[in-house]
A and B are shown apart, each in its own frame.
Chain A
Amino acid sequence: MSTAGGNEGRHPLFMPLILVGGLIFGFGLGYSHMARPEVVLDFLQFEDFGLLFVMFGGAAVTGLAYSVVPRLFDRAPLTGDSFGRRLKHFDRNVLVGGGIFGVGWGLSGICPGAGYASLGVGNLPILWAIGGMFIGAYAQGVWRSHTAQSDGAPASAD
């Protein structure tokens, strides 16, 4: 995790860019229909494979940005941070957590970003899912804060 996003001395355009980036991101989730749980469930039940184009279309654009942007700028214009790829340490948690997330995604048809976008398209029942996500995130936070303390060992570097 970079130090990006600290409070002190932020560029005045930092928050506007985050907002505009979020707007484009959310518009895309709406346009792609991924904000509709039914569409995700159709994909997972092999009835419509179109959703592959959302994830890999998005990844193609970010992949291009990861290769081009660092050649244009030495450091990020609004934070001064250096450009890194999104590389996270691999351990068993990636598979365990990913597997648990998948059970929830397959049951509900919604993931976090699409859940927020779903609220934006007027789908108020999605608040059940967003509420559930907060409950789940809180439960794992309590549990992991507790185990980190009782171990007396430093928390894993994720």
Chain B
Amino acid sequence: MVADLLTIQLLTELFPNGVSRYAIGGLFVGVGAAAIYAGTAINAGASTFLESTLSYVSDRSRFSRYVRSRDWRLVFTLGIILGAAVYAVVFQGGAWTTDVAPWRLLVGGIFVGIGTRIGKGCTSGHGVCGVGSASKTSIAGVLAFLLTAIITAQVVAALGVTP
């Protein structure tokens, strides 16, 4: 009985918002990636969209490698935006806006853009498809970005930047 109460208290502390929204959302993310894989053998990732879309405006070799895939990557990204909009309309009841400061979004975004392209993947490519593939490269990539992300977020919070 006491052990049960302690377990419940621990779970409440670790998961103050429960786990169902996260688990159900994660399942949908996986089903979306799995559906594309089943039909096309493509391992969907979100960050290559950045480089493939830049190939529309730049002839650099680094971007032109993705000319062949740039149209479907654009459609994939539009799908992500529309799917999230469906969530917003049905469950959220309208638009939601972040309170995180614009400079954090901009500077953080620049690091994300550089890092995902050098590191060959992001949370969807390495995190969902790569880990699902039991790829050692992806697991190493995930550990690397989790580690520096935790350190960065904790340091920024300790410096009193909120949010």
Contacts and interface: CB of A to CB of B under 8 A. Distances in A.
A144 to B, nearest CB: 5
Interface of A: 2-7, 13-15, 17-38, 41, 44-66, 69, 72-73, 75-79, 81-90, 93-126, 128-142, 144-145, 148-149, 155, 158
Nearest to B84: A120
B145 A101 contact: yes
Most buried by A among B32, B84, B115: B84
Interface string B70-107: 01100111111111111110011011111110101111
Nearest to A133: B113
A57 B97 contact: no
B128 to A, nearest CB: 4
B135 A58 contact: no
B8 interface: no
A90 B140 contact: yes
Interface in B105-125: 105-125
Given A106-B149, A137-B113, A59 B127 contact: yes
Contacts of A111: 46-47, 112, 116, 122-124
Contact of B26 (A28, A66, A77): A28
B9 interface: no
A121 B132 CA distance: 27
A138 to B, nearest CB: 6
B137 interface: yes
Q: Determine the interface band of chain B, counting residues with CB < 8 A from chain A.
A: 35 or more
Contacts of A94: 119-120, 137, 140-141, 144
Given A106-B149, A133-B110, A62 B30 contact: yes
Contacts of B19: 50, 53
B7 interface: no
Given A113-B80, A130-B109, A137 B23 contact: no
A52 B23 CA distance: 9
Contacts of B54: 134, 137-138, 141
A103 B36 contact: no
Contacts of A87: 133, 135, 137
Interface in B55-70: 58, 60-63, 68-69
